[in-house]
Structure 1
Amino acid sequence: MTFIQTNQGECSNPQSSGNPGDWYEGLPPSYVDSAKSPIVFIHGLNSSSRMWWQENDMGDIVHENGFQTAFIDLFPTKDMWENGKLLAEKLKEIYNYFGEKLVLVGHSKGGIDAQTAPVHYNAASYVERIICLSSPHQGAELSDLAYSSWAGWLADIIGVKNAAVYSLQTGYMDYFRNQTDELSSIPIYTLAGTSWGSFGSSLYWGGLYLNSFGANDGAVTVPSSQLTYGTELHVDKWNHFEIRKGSATFTHFSDYLYETTPSIPSYSFHNEEINYDNTADTFLRGGQYKGQAKEFFSVEDNVQELTINWLSNRRISNLMLTSPEAETWSDFVVSKDETTFFNGCWHHTLTLKKPSTGQWTLKAAASEENYLMAVQFNSPLNRVFNMEVGENLELVFPSVRKQAHLLDLKTIKNTIRLEYYDKETHISQETNWEDFGGYFSKKLPKMGEGVYNLTVDIEGKSLQNKRFNRTIVTSVYVDGNGKVIK
């Protein structure tokens, strides 16, 4: 596709430099229909404007349909505030260039940046409406994981801890929604996907991890893509990469690219066949080692399926899984991560049906490695530990009392690792909670306004005297009055 680099006054066929603030006009249509609004395409995390035309037919399809277009580069690793401010400045330029209001189409975090510009940086007069393709409006659980205690070693070494990923933690996004929703007047339309790709593909493990939070596209859940005051246009079997392609989604939002389209949100959600129940199906361990590492996990009774994923900063071949009966497996499927949240790490994945109960061992060997071991269970026990965080920063397990018949409550122990962040501070704190048999909530200490990233490790025994392990990761934002924002 041919482009005109309008902001630098050059006519060329650029391969976008990715320089923040640069924007490009797509090849103008042979006939400009005044009823069709110009479209501005906004990329997401760790990306650039190239994503709209490289291995993507979106640019060609919108041109074939007679739309004027612009493609902009923002900061790939900065938060919505930095990108929203820059975008607002450039939207004024693009508005003046085309001479009419714009429709913004954002992929992933690009949809959040698109909303920030008109709400917080006075760009509302340039924008007709916003269309979001799998944007994590309620936050990204994979961002919570990147900042968790167990995944921190790996996230640091592969360089995925940055302002953008930090701002997408579910707790921080609660804060952003609190600052944004009541001020938002631009109509917003959303699309979401529910496919992860094939086993071992780059989005598969992201989808598996996010499955406990609801239907998802390998990077963002359907519930997170929604806004209560927005209009959900469509949910389909797209993964996080496919949803940005013109051949996949253009026909689902093309009716909203006209000046004559009524900009009245219908407040509608498409909820068919979507699971919204949070469950605790994961056990995590991680860190750094030289030479050899050995991790253990327990499998309780009635586990139907077990998936192990060893995430590493390098591809390794020396992985050995051993069952309680000393049976071994080493045939892990290896793939490179492309989810943007753990971009650059390697996945080593293995799934087993009906694993035996007892203690399992996973050994790894490398000269030096940062890693995260994630074990996921398909088990009736998953729904017991649906943890909630109250407004006074207390952890609550509402289902434990109801399903106590599955557990030996006296054996349950919880270790809570809290990572507190404000603009200049990071404090780590560990709390043990060993009175679970008598109390189903635990109040945590407050250290001021900011993000509280929580990693809760749970261990205990079932009534059949079989050990189990689970890990829950979440984040919350505590405001200046000491209350959790929800």
Structure 2
Amino acid sequence: MKRKISYSCLFLMLLFPSWTLAGDFGKDDPSGNPGEWYVGTNPAAAKQPILFVHGLNSSSNTWWNENDMYDVAYRSGYKTAFIDLYPQKDMWANGALLAAKLKEIHDYFGGKVVVVAHSKGGIDTQSALVHYGADRYVSKVITLSSPHHGSQLADLAYSNWAGWLAAIIGSKNEATASLQTGYMSQFRSQTDGSSGMIPFYTMGGTSWGGFGGSLYWGGLYLSGYGSNDGAVTIASSRLPNAQEVAIGKWDHKTVKEGSSTFSIFQSLLSSSPTHNVGSRKESALKANTSSFIRGGEYTKHSKESFWVEVGAERINIDWLATNVIEDVYLTSPDGEVTELKPSGKDQGSYFNGAIHHVGTVENPIEGEWKVSSLSKKPGAYLLNVGFTSPLNDDLGVTTTEKGVSIQSNMISGVTQHTMFEFYPKGKAVSQSVKGIGAMLNAGEGTYNLTTDIESDYKGKPFNRTIIQSVYLNQNGQIVKQ
């Protein structure tokens, strides 16, 4: 279904933000009606039409609400269209829907469109073109920080420790499940050999925003996997057989703002399509060896402890909970107590609405540290301790069908416990089978592995949590990217 957006109406919406057409970005404001699409006012020049595709937990509104992308595109002389997809469904449901609507949009404009897609919208777009035959309606695709190899934050949301919190705040859904790096390995294997001749161009960001901001703590967790924009790593933003346009100091929000990136990709909009060229490819299965994770439910009291090894340079503590907790304290091995203060709601895509309680300790003393909280309301929590330490680079992780193994020249006496959750083959998560042990033998599907390790480093204890996602094919082999 098509609707018209007048430029004068847009101007009024910018003056009065409560005037919206499709729902503000975020969990607490309903998204637009999936399948509806909107046409912007034609500028005098009426250049190449652009279709803007939103990402996870978002809507078409994201391109003009607190964003000047529509404004910049209009003033630059381009025809525009915007579409609402399912905010919490996988690339298969959204790919089928987008393919059907791309035909309508193509017929309306009388020719092919350029797609500019943010985040998961880039995956939905590729699904529509490759798997649902919509490539005939598109001349090229530009993806803005799309997790083409999945998101380690989605892996975290489906991990053994974070599952409590993710389930309570509603982050476990088809979309999040499909963005696990293991699931995306399977999608890449089904898709990359059939990409056709439609050129893809990618962009990615390296900023997390300010300390305590909505993307900062996601960026800090993802830093164990490499440079990122607070939600997606640079490695994941790169697509095989696509051209990387730019990597800039954008976070996951500013990368889709017109004043930030339109001028970067504008030259591509009206140029003649070129054949895809290879971009750098990095494995999304790299393990993060810098974190300690715990989580669960609480009624009033909750406690966790962890060991800091010799030589650690910094620890960052994030106690993420379903509600503001006035009393969250960090106790050092020598008895010093520090309050972890609330730093605001998470506004990312995977733990949206949960409250961060944070603290940083420089040059922490070695030994056992403790975190305790007292809450007036029951809920769920997730403790994430990030270590800056020479030990991180010394730890190696190998994952095979037989399990997870830890290698290091500097540690001894490793105690290891791996819990996996299994999600069978299929477009939707239909069941969860939890298991303890090394073998991945529940059948074809996505396995989310949470491995807790404890060992000695230079004669003193330390802890780490390794979270991974892999896909086993019908032959019982891990699908690798």
Query: Which residue of 410, 428, 434 maps to 2:434?
Result: 428
Note if 1:459 corresponds to 2:449. no
Query: In angstroms, what is the RMSD of aligned CA positions?
Result: 1.9
Contact 2:444 2:471 in 1 (8 A): yes
Give 1:199 deviation, angstroms.
Answer: 1.2
AA at the equivalent of 2:422: Y
AA at the equivalent of 2:129: P
Contact 2:235 2:281 in 1 (8 A): no
Contact 1:200 1:333 in 2 (8 A): no
Give 1:384 deviation, angstroms.
Answer: 2.7
Per-residue CA deviations over 1:151-170 (Å, capped at 9, x if unaligned) read 00000100000000000000
Contact 1:449 1:482 in 2 (8 A): yes
Q: Show the counterpart of 1:257.
A: 269
SS of the residue 2:161 aligns to: coil
Per-residue CA deviations over 1:321-357 (Å, capped at 9, x if unaligned) read 1111100101425221111111111111100100111
Note if 1:117 corresponds to 2:123. no
SS of the residue 1:182 aligns to: helix
1:9–1:49 CA distance, 2 compared to 1 (3 A): closer
Q: Show the counterpart of 1:31.
A: 45
1:304–1:276 CA distance, 2 compared to 1 (3 A): farther
TM-score for both structures, normalised by structure 1: 0.90
Q: Show the counterpart of 2:240.
A: 228
Query: Which residue of 48, 62, 71 maps to 1:51?
Result: 62
1:278–1:236 CA distance, 2 compared to 1 (3 A): farther
Per-residue CA deviations over 1:87-139 (Å, capped at 9, x if unaligned) read 00100000000001111111000111111111011101001011000000000
Contact 1:234 1:270 in 2 (8 A): no
Note if 1:200 corresponds to 2:212. yes
AA at the equivalent of 2:461: R
Query: Which residue of 322, 327, 335 maps to 1:326?
Result: 335
SS of the residue 1:485 aligns to: coil
Note if 1:355 corresponds to 2:364. yes
Query: Which residue of 385, 388, 391 maps to 1:378?
Result: 388
Alignment size in residue pairs: 454
Contact 2:154 2:179 in 1 (8 A): yes
AA at the equivalent of 1:447: A
Query: Which residue of 13, 26, 33 maps to 1:19?
Result: 33
Give 1:263 deviation, angstroms.
Answer: 1.9
Give 1:369 deviation, angstroms.
Answer: 2.1
Per-residue CA deviations over 1:148-199 (Å, capped at 9, x if unaligned) read 0000000010000000000000000001111111011221100000000111
Give 1:450 deviation, angstroms.
Answer: 0.6
Contact 1:235 1:270 in 2 (8 A): no
Distance (whole Å) between structure 1 residues aligned to residue 89 and residue 286 of structure 2: 31
SS of the residue 2:78 aligns to: coil
Distance (whole Å) between structure 1 residues aligned to residue 187 and residue 319 of structure 2: 33
AA at the equivalent of 2:419: R
Q: How does 1:94-113 map to 2 (within 5 A)?
A: 94-113=105-124
Contact 1:279 1:385 in 2 (8 A): no
Distance (whole Å) between structure 2 residues aligned to residue 270 and residue 249 of structure 1: 23
SS of the residue 1:198 aligns to: coil
Give 1:262 deviation, angstroms.
Answer: 3.4
Q: Show the counterpart of 1:246.
A: 258
SS of the residue 1:344 aligns to: coil
1:331–1:293 CA distance, 2 compared to 1 (3 A): closer
AA at the equivalent of 1:329: T
Contact 1:107 1:133 in 2 (8 A): yes
* % identical equivalent positions: 47
Contact 2:420 2:450 in 1 (8 A): yes
Distance (whole Å) between structure 1 residues aligned to residue 42 and residue 334 of structure 2: 67
Q: How does 1:126-275 map to 2 (within 5 A)?
A: 126-185=137-196, 186-258=198-270, 260-269=271-280
AA at the equivalent of 1:255: S
Contact 1:37 1:67 in 2 (8 A): yes
Distance (whole Å) between structure 1 residues aligned to residue 439 and residue 285 of structure 2: 27
Q: Show the counterpart of 1:287.
A: 296
Q: Show the counterpart of 1:440.
A: none
Distance (whole Å) between structure 2 residues aligned to residue 63 and residue 305 of structure 1: 47
The runs of 5 or more residues in structure 1 that have no matched partner are 1-5, 432-442
Contact 1:416 1:430 in 2 (8 A): yes
Contact 1:81 1:116 in 2 (8 A): yes
1:475–1:267 CA distance, 2 compared to 1 (3 A): same
Distance (whole Å) between structure 1 residues aligned to residue 4 and residue 215 of structure 2: 39
Query: Which residue of 362, 387, 392 maps to 2:397?
Result: 387
Give 1:265 deviation, angstroms.
Answer: 2.4
Contact 2:331 2:370 in 1 (8 A): yes
Give 1:251 deviation, angstroms.
Answer: 1.1
Between 1:379-388 and 1:368-377, the stretch displaced more is: 379-388
AA at the equivalent of 1:208: L
SS of the residue 1:175 aligns to: helix
Q: Show the counterpart of 2:439.
A: 444
SS of the residue 2:48 aligns to: coil
Q: Show the counterpart of 1:418.
A: 420
Distance (whole Å) between structure 2 residues aligned to residue 143 and residue 81 of structure 1: 17
SS of the residue 1:59 aligns to: helix
Contact 2:4 2:38 in 1 (8 A): no
SS of the residue 1:387 aligns to: strand
AA at the equivalent of 1:130: V
Contact 2:192 2:240 in 1 (8 A): no
AA at the equivalent of 2:384: A
Per-residue CA deviations over 1:376-405 (Å, capped at 9, x if unaligned) read 110111123332323x343244xx2xx42x
Distance (whole Å) between structure 1 residues aligned to residue 300 and residue 419 of structure 2: 27
Distance (whole Å) between structure 1 residues aligned to residue 396 and residue 209 of structure 2: 27
Query: Which residue of 461, 471, 474 maps to 1:480?
Result: 474
Distance (whole Å) between structure 1 residues aligned to residue 45 and residue 48 of structure 2: 13
AA at the equivalent of 2:331: T
AA at the equivalent of 2:210: S
SS of the residue 1:202 aligns to: coil
